[in-house]
Amino acid sequence: MTHELEFYIDGRWVAPSGTQSFDVINPATEAKVATIAMGSGADVDKAVAAAKRAFPAYSRTSREERLGYLTRILEFYDEGSDEIAELMSLEMGVVRNFSRNAQIALGRAHLATAVDVLKHFAFTEQRGDMLLAREPIGVCGLITPWNWPMNQLVVKVAPALAAGCTMVVKPSEYSPLSSLRFARMVDEAGVPAGVFNLINGDGVEVGEAISRHPDVDMVSITGSTRAGVAVAKAAADTIKRVHQELGGKSANIIFDDENFDRNVALGVKASYLNCGQSCSAPTRMLVPYQLMEHAAKVAAETADALAVGTPDTEGTDLGPVVNASQYKRIQTLIETGIKEGATLSAGGPGRPEGLDKGYYVRPTVFSGVTPQMTIAREEIFGPVLSIIGYADENEAVRIANDSIYGLAGHVQSSDIARARRVAAQLRVGSVYINQAPWDAAAPFGGFKQSGNGREHGEFGLGDFLELKAMAGYGVHQDARSA
């Protein structure tokens, strides 16, 4: 890697204004793998000024020009995918096969979808005498998380570029290396100077400076609900658009039918995806009361069969969680689950056997969890599953909706009419029925404290546009042609 101690501003790699730095730690080994520069408000000012200067020209580029930039970025992404996958394994400990087959693949799917959407998107629409024009919102601050570095970077950068916006990007300081590599791709693709700018830094200084800046027209953040609140408060004085994809505590309602055991096993694996570090993970499994013990047994067997180890070890299913503070928080919540009376069916506190270094968590299953327990309400962000009982369909829906979050929901039933009926009642942004496949074009975002706005496909592009109505457009047009 290069440029760890630089920022990408106005089409050039530049030195930071200050001298603050941050050590990037490999969570699998606890060893330092890089040192990055940390930005300040002065760096944000420079980047925003560059984006503001670039906006008038870039906002008027043609669809074909923007397609050219996105297509070239996609080509460079494909060429550099192996390198980016290695960087993500290094900075966040994700298992290498998962890094290539999921982390890289999802980022690519979103880039390809953005290209396809841009080809066909209707930026203008005439209704009688009025023209509706969807125009780029302006300078955008894009704040991305550490858990899906490429996916979350691409779902903000690609639609912003497609819309004609300019941007200042702040990746997480815990996973900056892959984002720096992506910035090199944007540069190689020939995106005009000032359109894309990247500054490393923390949320307290750089994130707040972006959110508060009067020349930033929109902030899009993916992160914790706490971070989303901080961004919204900082942005309030300048009345900018705030787009948030935040936390989740998704319910997975499993009904009693012939696929029950399979659905439980698949639910366990889904909740542990990316080592449980996914905001839409189905970490609350809801099963009929009379099947609680059986579900716990199937879930425990599934969890115990998963191999936890270093990211480069063949056959490893789960690597470490991202850092020491996250590891400690997960351990505290596991201990809390035990103290509050949940049954520990698999896993538990401490590292898995044979791993004495690295932030590894035992795949953990709690059964007999009640809806008011801490582990049933807080987003743990690790491989910890809570199994909760319900008496009937109505209670299952009530428990699923009894959360401050509303990002995703899951329903498993061979009775499709019942599955649809339940899905319609869930107060969430996305519902997956019977392990429905992921779709890059589907809107993604949440209700309640899971945020606002939508990402992915045409919906993500739409959130970077403002709607302008031009009345009398048809009349004037006719008059000019007469």
* Residue range 421-429: mean pLDDT, rounded: 98
Calpha distance 434→329 (Å, rounded): 32
* Residue range 105-122: mean pLDDT, rounded: 97
Calpha distance 433→436 (Å, rounded): 6
Strand partners, 23: 35
Statement: 7-246+450-470 belongs to CATH 3.40.605.10: yes
Query: What 3-state DSSP class applies to 458?
Result: helix
Sheet holding 408-412, edge to edge: 343-346, 364-369, 384-390, 284-288, 251-254, 408-412, 430-433
Residue 481 predicted with pLDDT over 80:
no
- Which tens digit of pLDDT belongs to each residue from 59-85? 999 999 999 999 999 999 999 999 999
Residue ranges of the domains in the chain?
7-246+450-470, 251-433
Closest to 409 in 3D by CA, of 290, 273, 267, 297: 267
Enumerate the active-site residues.
Answer: 245, 279
- Which tens digit of pLDDT belongs to each residue from 252-277? 999 999 999 999 999 999 999 999 99
pLDDT value of position 474: 85
Query: What 3-state DSSP class applies to 142?
Result: strand
Going by pLDDT thresholds of 50, 70 and 90, the confidence category of residue 479 is: very low
Distance from the Cα of residue 223 to its chain's centroid: 7
User: Which distant-in-sequence residues (6+ apart) come within 8 Å of 236 by Cβ?
Assistant: none
What tokens appear for 307 in the block? Answer: 């191999």
Closest to 163 in 3D by CA, of 65, 66, 243, 79: 66
Calpha distance 152→7 (Å, rounded): 19
pLDDT value of position 156: 98
Going by pLDDT thresholds of 50, 70 and 90, the confidence category of residue 1 is: low
Site of tokens 């520990």: 344
Would you say 196 and 152 are in contact if contact means Cβ atoms under 8 Å apart?
A: no
* Residue range 333-352: mean pLDDT, rounded: 98
Calpha distance 325→74 (Å, rounded): 35
Closest to 366 in 3D by CA, of 303, 424, 311, 445: 303
Residues of the chain with pLDDT > 90, as a percent, come to: 98
Strand partners, 287: 389
pLDDT value of position 436: 95
For 202-243, the DSSP string reads: -IIIIIHHHHH-TT--EEEEES-HHHHHHHHHHHHTTT-EEE
Going by pLDDT thresholds of 50, 70 and 90, the confidence category of residue 476 is: low
User: Which distant-in-sequence residues (6+ apart) come within 8 Å of 250 by Cβ?
Assistant: 280, 281, 282, 283, 284, 405, 407, 408, 409, 410, 428
pLDDT value of position 154: 98
Phi, psi of 344 (to 5 degrees): -85, 105
- Distance of CA 330 to CAs 97, 195, 277, 428, 449, Å? 24, 39, 11, 25, 21
pLDDT value of position 329: 98
Residue 208 predicted with pLDDT over 90:
yes
pLDDT value of position 2: 77
* Residue range 9-25: mean pLDDT, rounded: 98
Going by pLDDT thresholds of 50, 70 and 90, the confidence category of residue 443 is: very high
Calpha distance 145→172 (Å, rounded): 5
**285 residue type, one letter:** M
pLDDT value of position 480: 44
Site of tokens 């998962």: 98
**C-alpha radius of gyration, the chain, whole number:** 23
**357 residue type, one letter:** K
Residues of the chain with pLDDT > 70, as a percent, come to: 98
Architecture of domain 251-433: 3-Layer(aba) Sandwich (3.40)
* Residue range 96-121: mean pLDDT, rounded: 96
Strand partners, 245: 222, 451
pTM metric for this prediction: 0.95
Strand partners, 110: none
